[in-house]
Amino acid sequence: MWQIGITGGIGSGKSTIAAFFKVLGIPVYDADSRAKWLTEHHPNIQKILIEWLGASAFIEGKLNKQFIAEKVFAKPTELQKLNQIIHPIVGEDFKHWVKEQQAPYILKEAALLFESGSYKSLDKIIVVTAPESERIKRVLLRDPQRSEAQVKEILQRQWPEADKVERADWVINNDNTTLLLPKLLNFHQILLSSHSFS
């Protein structure tokens, strides 16, 4: 069973494309959503975060997101430390999930696929791209609580799109100028054909 990564910068539309593969019956591991769930429910993560940041990291067992954001997200070194705590546990969770799947291939959807290093254990990588201006517009529509400055700050923390494209096996341009459906169906057929990896 082939393990395929799908990634792209914020607002690129990778989640929409991953949802299409789900409709085709392909299992999709949403690493970002799973990381959020594990942060609140995995006992080791809770223990480490409380020891590191104090009891205020959780309120009645729930992650204190505002507190974490203030303490961590604006500080690159602290954010890196947080990722070093969470990413290995997400990696183990993904391995267990893979063992439960039965499909010709599976997808691992993750915004930080390259940044976390988890791409190294996957067979192939799909990168979803879109112009930065379009990505910012999409995020502001999706997350009205965010400002344009905050979105640009997130973009700066992620790898440049050109670096991701350079490491991709396939690139899906999601700029709203071409029909995606034929392209995605073509990818599906390629991924179903094991000889395409030879």
Q: Dump pLDDT digits (tens) for 121-156.
A: 999 999 999 998 888 999 898 888 888 888 888 888
> If 0-12 CB within 10 Å is exposed, 13-18 middle and 19+ buried, where does residue 131 land?
middle
| Residue 193 one-letter amino acid | S
Q: Supply the pLDDT for residue 195.
A: 46
What CATH number does residue 21 fall under? 3.40.50.300
User: Is 171 found in the same domain as 115?
Assistant: yes
User: Is 20 found in the same domain as 68?
Assistant: no
User: Is 179 found in the same domain as 161?
Assistant: yes
User: Is 96 found in the same domain as 110?
Assistant: no
Query: Which of residues 45, 69, 100 is at a domain's end?
Result: 100
Pairing label, strands 2-7, 105-109: parallel
Of 1, 3, 83, the residue nearest 48 (C-alpha): 83
Give the CA distances from residue 42 to residues 32, 60, 85, 95, in Å, rounded to whole numbers and listed in that order: 15, 15, 11, 16
- 194 sits in the region (left: phi over 0; alpha: psi -120 to 50; else beta) called alpha
| Number of domains present in the structure of the chain | 2
Residue 188 included in any domain:
yes
List of the chain residues with pLDDT < 50: 195-198
Token pair belonging to 62: 């729930």
User: Is 184 found in the same domain as 119?
Assistant: yes
Q: Supply the pLDDT for residue 198.
A: 43
Using a CB cutoff of 8 Å and minimum separation of 24, what contacts does 173-179 make?
Answer: 173/129, 173/130, 174/8, 174/12, 174/13, 174/16, 174/17, 174/128, 174/129, 174/130, 175/129, 175/130, 175/131, 175/134, 176/130, 176/134
Q: Are 57 and 68 in contact (CB under 8 A)?
A: yes
Q: Supply the pLDDT for residue 154.
A: 81
Could you tell me how many helices (H) and strands (E) the chain has, helices first?
A: 9, 7
User: Is 59 found in the same domain as 116?
Assistant: no
Of 126, 149, 107, the residue nearest 2 (C-alpha): 107
| Residue 9 one-letter amino acid | G
Which residue range forms the structural domain that includes residue 76? Answer: 36-100
Q: Any idea what the Cα angle at residue 37 is, between residues 32 and 42, rounded to 5°?
A: 120
Sign, CA dihedral 114-117-118-124, equals positive
What are the beta bridge partners of residue 29?
Answer: 108
